[in-house]
């Protein structure tokens, strides 16, 4: 039976220097975005290991959004080089195993991009809402 | 076989190596054996491992070498074992100056079974070069499935896992002292089958590192097609970063360094 009251659960890993500050700006600018996202602040998006993403999916997240500084703007100079390597790899691996790679999204959002932050969260939430509950989550629940 | 024995005998006799990690027939089983100068007569029974006898000699060598870091050792290698040594050099687990290769080329049947892209070694002391298999049929089979079908396929396999850690324990590339598969913050404990992500986590660690020796799959009591997963992980790493595992010329692993520039683009939502 399809879940008509499905509310996506989304985990956000946001870098302290850019995206988290962008979220802050979206807040003080009173921009509206859905409350489905649970934010975890990290010092650099490069600290987000694929383990954390997979763990989130395992624990029932329907989507994972990673936010970091634009390439070249990293507070630690090149931390986000690793972020994109990891996430692009993980997306391809999820695709191969049929784990819906679209549920993992990486976006560069600077501290000045409050509107972009709100829009990204809005779009991502809607996308996940359309996709429905994660295949992995349903399999875990059924087991 | 004589050429191989002769080489080993000379290496040991001349003191070029302190020992040789190879195979010997014992009680009609081909088993790994550590040959030394003190028991030189054993070299007469040294063999090139037959196809179905495969052990993680690279792993045994790591143990010996860490115990005797000053000594040089010889080791029997196939194509996969040599790739493994090259990766281990890159990860600082072995010193290339202290390893002497005794190379064995695999035959066609073995190469076809493994879908091996490089079934020979840089030095061949036994056997002859055969045709490599450049494209894995098993990976293509999964790719041909739809995403939902692929998920069903993998889920079915993952749920057979009895969490014996056999894949990790036999793996010559798994040298970490602490393992994320046993980390209670990253993986649920006390569950069989384990978390669905268990094999995916291992696949991440194998990406660009798996030498495609296939011991994990042969060791797996649940017959999970691990090799297919790791072959694909390697393929992705090659496509994204141009990094080829086990090749000295391809430089350090992309996971080991940030890189001077970043050319990858984020995927559109």
Instruction: Tell me what pLDDT residue A142 has.
Output: 87
Kindly report, residue by residue over B92-105, the tens digit of the pLDDT.
999 999 999 999 99
Cβ distance of A105 and B269 shorter than 8 Å? yes
- A41 Cβ under 8 Å from any chain B Cβ: no
Helices B79-90 and B57-67: angle between axes, nearest 10 degrees: 40
Say if A136 falls within a structural domain: yes
The confidence score (pLDDT) of residue B50 equals 84
Average pLDDT on A29-57 reads: 97
pLDDT at B175: 95
In terms of Cα–Cα distance, which of B155, B125, B131 is closest to B46? B125
Domain extent at residue A97: 10-142
Nearest to A98 among B151, B195, B262 (CB): B151
Question: Is the model's pLDDT at A143 over the cut of 80?
Answer: no
pLDDT band with cut points at 50, 70 and 90 for residue B1: confident
Tell me which chain A residues have a C-beta less than 8 angstroms from the C-beta of B236: 89, 92-93, 96
Closest C-alpha among A140, A110, A83 to residue B151 = A140
* Region for residue B33 given its phi and psi (left: phi exceeds 0; alpha: psi -120 to 50; beta: otherwise): beta
Look at residue B54 in the predicted model and tell me its pLDDT: 86
Is residue A128 one of the residues assigned to a domain?
Answer: yes
- Residue A120 neighbours by CB distance under 10 Å: 24
Is A59 in the B-facing interface, judged by CB distances under 8 Å?
no
Res B221 pLDDT > 80: yes
Q: Is residue A61 part of a domain?
A: yes
What pLDDT is recorded for position A117? 98
B151: contact with A, CB 8 A cutoff: yes
Least confident of A40-49, B21-30, B196-205: B21-30
Residue B220 has pLDDT above 60, yes or no: yes
d(CA A35, CA A56): 17
SS3 (DSSP) at A137: helix
Does B269 contact A84 at a Cβ distance shorter than 8 Å?
Answer: no
Nearest CA in chain B to A57: B197
Which residues in chain B have Cβ-Cβ distances shorter than 8 Å to A91?
A: 267
A81/B258 touch (CB, cutoff 8 Å), yes or no: yes
Tell me the pLDDT tens digit for each residue of A7-36.
999 999 999 999 999 999 999 999 999 999
pLDDT at A2: 56
Mean pLDDT of A65-94: 97
Residue A29 lies inside a defined structural domain of this protein = yes
Q: Is the pLDDT of residue A1 over 60?
A: no
- Is A5 within the bounds of a domain? no
Residue range B28-54: mean pLDDT, rounded: 91
Look at residue A2 and tell me if it is in a domain.
Answer: no
Return the pLDDT at A3.
58
Chain B, 118 to 147: residues with Cβ < 8 Å from chain A are: 142-143, 145-147
What percent of chain B has a predicted confidence (pLDDT) above 70?
A: 100
Task: Compute the average pLDDT of residues A71-82.
Answer: 96
pLDDT tens by residue, B130-162? 999 999 999 999 999 999 999 999 999 999 999
CATH classification at residue A41: 3.40.50
How large is the ipTM? 0.93
Spell out the long-range contacts of B252-258 with Cβ–Cβ below 8 A and sequence spacing 24 or more.
B252/B90, B253/B87, B253/B90, B253/B91, B253/B208, B253/B209, B254/A85, B254/B208, B255/A85, B255/B207, B255/B208, B255/B209, B256/B90, B256/B91, B258/A46, B258/A78, B258/A79, B258/A81, B258/A82
A85 and B CB contact within 8 Å = yes
Mean pLDDT of chain A: 95
Would you say residue A4 lies in a domain? Answer: no
Looking at the complex, report in whole angstroms how far the Cα of residue A30 sits from the nearest Cα belonging to chain B: 24
Average pLDDT over residues B38-44: 94
> Considering its fold, how many domains does chain A have in total?
1
- Mean pLDDT estimate for chain B: 94
Tell me the mean pLDDT in the region A130-140. 94
């Amino acid at each position: 039976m399809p879940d008509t009251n499905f509310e996506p659960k989304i985990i956000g890993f946001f870098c302290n220097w850019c995206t988290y500050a962008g979220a802050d700006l979206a807040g003080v600018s009173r921009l509206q975005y859905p409350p489905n996202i649970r934010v975890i602040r990290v010092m650099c998006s490069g600290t987000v290991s694929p383990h954390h993403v997979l763990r989130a999916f395992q624990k029932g997240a329907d989507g994972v959004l990673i936010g970091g500084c634009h390439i070249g703007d990293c507070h630690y100079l090149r931390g986000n080089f690793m972020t994109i390597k990891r996430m692009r790899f993980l997306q391809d691996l999820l695709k191969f195993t049929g784990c819906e790679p679209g549920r993992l999204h990486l976006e560069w959002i600077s501290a000045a991009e409050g509107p972009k932050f709100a829009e990204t969260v809005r779009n991502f939430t809607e996308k996940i809402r359309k996709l429905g509950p994660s295949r992995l989550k349903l399999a875990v629940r059924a087991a | 076989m004589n050429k191989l024995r002769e080489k080993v005998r000379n290496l040991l006799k001349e003191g070029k190596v302190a020992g040789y990690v190879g195979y010997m027939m014992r009680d009609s089983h081909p088993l790994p054996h550590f040959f030394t100068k003190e028991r030189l007569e054993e070299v007469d029974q040294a063999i090139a491992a037959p196809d179905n006898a495969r052990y993680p000699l690279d792993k045994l060598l790591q143990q010996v070498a860490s115990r005797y870091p000053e000594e040089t050792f010889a080791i029997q290698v196939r194509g996969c074992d040599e790739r493994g040594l090259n990766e281990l050099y890159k990860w600082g687990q072995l010193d290339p100056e202290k390893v002497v290769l005794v190379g064995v080329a695999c035959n066609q049947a073995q190469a076809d079974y493994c879908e091996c892209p490089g079934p020979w070694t840089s030095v061949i002391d036994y056997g002859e070069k055969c045709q490599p298999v450049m494209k894995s049929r098993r990976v293509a089979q999964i790719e041909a499935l739809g995403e939902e079908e692929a998920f069903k396929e993998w889920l079915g396999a993952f749920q057979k896992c009895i969490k014996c850690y056999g894949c990790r324990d036999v793996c010559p590339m798994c040298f970490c002292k602490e393992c994320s598969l046993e980390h209670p913050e990253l993986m649920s404990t006390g569950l069989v089958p384990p978390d669905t992500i268990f094999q995916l986590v291992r696949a991440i660690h194998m990406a660009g590192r798996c030498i495609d020796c296939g011991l994990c799959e042969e060791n797996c009591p649940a017959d999970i097609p691990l090799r297919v997963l790791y072959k694909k992980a390697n393929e992705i790493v090659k496509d994204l970063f141009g990094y080829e595992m086990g090749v000295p010329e391809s430089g350090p692993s992309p996971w080991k360094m940030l890189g001077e520039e970043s050319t990858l683009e984020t995927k559109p939502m």
